[in-house]
Amino acid sequence: EGAIEANPARRIKTPKPKQREPKATSLADFLALLRTTHGGSLADVRDRTILLFLADTGCRVGGLCGLDVGDLDIPHGLALVREKGSKSRYVPFNPPTAEALSDWLAVRPQGQGPAVFVSLSTSRKGRLQPGGVGQMLRRRAEQAGVSGPVNPHAFRHFFAREFLLSGGDLASLADLMG
């Protein structure tokens, strides 16, 4: 209205947005989770393989749970994962993950279908479900004393962060993550 010549609001500083907590599993938490799988039990072998596969491929938990033995090309370090309905893609994995997959397939209970990862519960035979992976991660996190995020999706963020920190570019990351 022209009553004042200067704008009194120009001295007001805008508040800084809150820094969001990173959603990724930390490297220290990942290593602590892996240490909980050094026993020789069937669950230890399976869970170690799941942890390595999630961290090494960046695949979604649905892709992990939908993985069939025929989808693995262990010598070439490739797995065909199906995610988000009918979308499929190949994900590469490193030798430690290949070794873990070989170890798991050598002891994996037979007669539960083609699934790579099966439930070890006596009441729920067959393909491991996403909820079972979440339960396993919570159980392992409690064993390891981990308080950071360890849900399956946090491993996708972990993969992405480690890829970029290792010198990867965003376009390649987008392709790898589907």
CA pair distance 28, 33, nearest whole angstrom: 9
Segment 122-168, tens digit of pLDDT:
667 788 999 999 999 999 999 999 988 889 999 999 999 999 999 98
Segment 46-101, tens digit of pLDDT:
999 999 999 999 999 999 999 999 999 999 999 999 988 778 899 999 999 999 99
Under 8 Å between Cβ of 140 and 37: yes
pTM score, whole prediction: 0.84
pLDDT of amino acid 21: 61
Q: Report whether pLDDT(20) > 80.
A: no
